[in-house]
């Protein structure tokens, strides 16, 4: 398939450099992903941006040239038109659970619960949690530094007051002699 390099870059950027089906990124796969026709050209699809999907090689191979043969046949989820959250929910185990018939068909057809993808989702979740904890820890450090600066200020005030009290006591001692 020959796609204009400018169009290819548009599709990559629009997909945020990740498979629009499974979420695996170029970084995860170690290189650029593939561009697929959501509706295959052999089934009447075209090269329009709306019909081009950025996807990993596995999702591309599993999708192949699938297109429903009739209006009642199961269809794949189209990431160009609907968010994944409409069709899937991620379980604590990292597996996806379908919310719709389209979601169930897509999970089966693209094998979106294959073990490497489950591991990938769990790793992404751990990274997100680590990032959240890091932000929280930085905020604690910032607040601690503010408290330490305030404490240093209060200690300086206390030192000045003690010095003032010592001067007053010295004056009383000098006056009484």
The structural domains of the chain, with segments of one domain joined by +, span: 5-113
From the CB of residue 80, how many other CB atoms can be counted at a distance below 10 Å?
14
Asked if residue 9 lies in contact with residue 3, where contact means CB atoms within 8 angstroms, the answer is no
Q: How far is CA 83 from CA 20, 24, 143, 156, 158, in A?
A: 10, 16, 38, 58, 60
- Report the predicted TM-score, pTM, of the whole model to 2 decimal places: 0.76
User: Do the Cβ atoms of 52 and 79 come closer than 8 Å?
Assistant: no
β-strands 34-37, 88-90 pairing = unpaired
State in Å, rounded, how far the first CA of the chain is from the last one: 106
CA 155, CA 164: separation in Å to the nearest integer?
14
Q: How many residues does the chain have?
A: 177
Per-residue tens of pLDDT for the chain, all 177 residues = 578 889 999 999 999 999 999 999 999 889 999 999 999 998 999 999 999 999 999 999 999 988 988 888 889 999 989 999 999 999 999 999 999 999 999 999 999 999 999 999 999 999 999 999 999 999 999 999 999 999 999 999 999 999 999 999 988 888 877
């Amino acid at each position: 398939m020959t796609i204009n390099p400018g169009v290819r870059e548009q599709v990559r950027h629009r997909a945020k450099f990740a498979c629009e089906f499974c979420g695996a990124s170029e970084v995860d796969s170690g290189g650029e992903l593939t561009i697929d026709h959501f509706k295959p050209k052999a089934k009447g699809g075209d090269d329009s941006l709306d019909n081009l999907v950025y996807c990993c090689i596995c999702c591309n191979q599993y999708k192949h040239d699938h297109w429903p043969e009739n209006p009642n046949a199961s269809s794949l989820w189209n990431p160009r038109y609907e968010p994944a959250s409409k069709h899937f929910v991620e379980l604590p185990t990292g597996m996806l659970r379908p919310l719709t018939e389209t979601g169930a068909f897509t999970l089966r057809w693209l094998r979106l619960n294959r073990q490497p993808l489950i591991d990938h989702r769990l790793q992404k979740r751990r990274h997100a949690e680590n990032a959240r904890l890091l932000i929280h820890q930085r905020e604690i450090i910032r607040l601690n530094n503010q408290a330490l600066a305030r404490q240093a200020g209060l200690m300086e005030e206390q030192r000045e007051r003690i010095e003032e009290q010592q001067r007053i006591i010295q004056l009383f001692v000098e006056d009484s002699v």
